[in-house]
Each structure stands twice: as C-alpha cells, then as structure tokens.
Amino acid sequence: MKTKLVLTAILTAFLFLHGCSNSDDNSENSELVSKSTYSSQGSYAARSSAVTSQMFPQAQQEVIETFQAIAQSIIDGDMDLLISFHAYGPKFTEFKDGALRNGGEANEAYERGVFGAVTEVVRFDANDLQVAVYYGNVANVTFHSDFHLKFGEGTETVIINNQITLLFVKTSGEWKIVHEHHSPLNQ
C-alpha cells in the first residue's frame, strides 16, 4: 500500500510538472491535477497520432530501394552483400517458423545456408508490401512472400509463402535489418 502511495505521489508530481506551462496564470493552476491529466492525455494522443500518421516519403523510398537491393543480392547469390544489410549485435532478433527467438549468428548461418544454396530464383515477389517509417529512422516492412527457388539443376521449385516482417533502423546513413519475423501464410 505504501508503494502505491509513493507511486501515486510521483505520478502526480510528474503530471503537475508536465502540465505546467511557462505561464504564471493562477487560474490555470487552480484545477491543476485534472487539467494536467487531461492535457497530458491530449498531448500524448496528438504525439501518438503524429507518429503513426507522418509518412516520411524520402525515408520510405530509401527503405524500398534497400529492400530491392536485398532482393537483388539474393537473385545474384551475393551472400556477403545480403548479410551486409543486417545490423547484427546483441539487439538483433529473429522469429522463424514458430521456433524460439534466435539472434544474429543463427540468422546469418541460416541465410548463408539457404540463400547460398539457391541455384535459380524463378520468382521473388513481395506481395502487399507495406513500408511504415517512424521518426524518419525506423521502418517496419511487411509483405507476403511468393518466392520460387531452385536448389540445384533439375530440382523442383520450392515455393515459400510466408508473412514477413523486417524491422529496419537507419544507422550511419544506411538502413539495416535489426529484426526479422517469418511465419507461414495460410492460403
């Protein structure tokens, strides 16, 4: 109970400080708690709306070009270039095929193993592609894959229909993948 009281006092103090403007008008401060709470919620909603509705068209185009370069690296069989589009490190994560989360080392090994073994890319379509950019330096790319790949001469084409999410962060002027999520697409 004491913890709740302390947290309530801290939150009230925060709302008080956050809700106050540079104006010294005492009439504004007479209903401080209710007004600052309302003002805080309203400004949060406005910020949230701006974050989710602002488009960043230049950044969006950069992400699309990066995504196209990733696809081309797979088509060309250039695994080093493919890997260079990832920002591997302690924050990198991947979900794939309902398995537990893995990190950069497992992702790199998988991508080199699978895409490195492709002998022909018959089709590499990203259907219903959506690129959502936030703050100009974070992008969420979602699409339904329709990949048709061959793994050797005379082999049957393997079709990969997944729901894919790629999370990009712009770092040092380049868009890098920091998270991947792949799950089967129900037909």
Q: What value does the mean pLDDT of the chain take?
A: 83
- The Cα–Cα gap between 66 and 76 comes to 15
Tokens of 46: 């406005």
Domains in the chain, please, with CATH?
Answer: 2-53 (no CATH), 57-184 (3.10.450.50)
CA distances from 30 to 13, 14, 15, 24, 34 (A): 15, 17, 14, 11, 10
pLDDT at 50: 84
Question: In the chain, what is the straight-line distance between the N-terminal and C-terminal CA atoms, in Å?
Answer: 52
Are 63 and 43 in contact by the 8 Å Cβ rule? The answer is no
pLDDT tens, position by position, 54-100: 999 999 999 999 999 999 999 999 999 999 999 999 999 999 999 99
Q: Is 103 helix (H, G, I), strand (E, B) or coil?
A: coil
Give the whole-angstrom CA distance, residue 126 versus residue 111.
17
Per-residue pLDDT tens for 170-181? 999 999 999 999
What is the pLDDT at residue 3? 43
Please compute Rg for the chain using Cα positions: 24
pTM here is: 0.75
Cβ density class 139-152: b for 16+ within 10 Å, e for less: bebbbebebebbee
104 phi and psi, to 5 degrees?
A: -65, -45
In the predicted structure, residue 28 carries a pLDDT above the cut 70: no
The secondary structure of residue 155, as a DSSP letter, is P
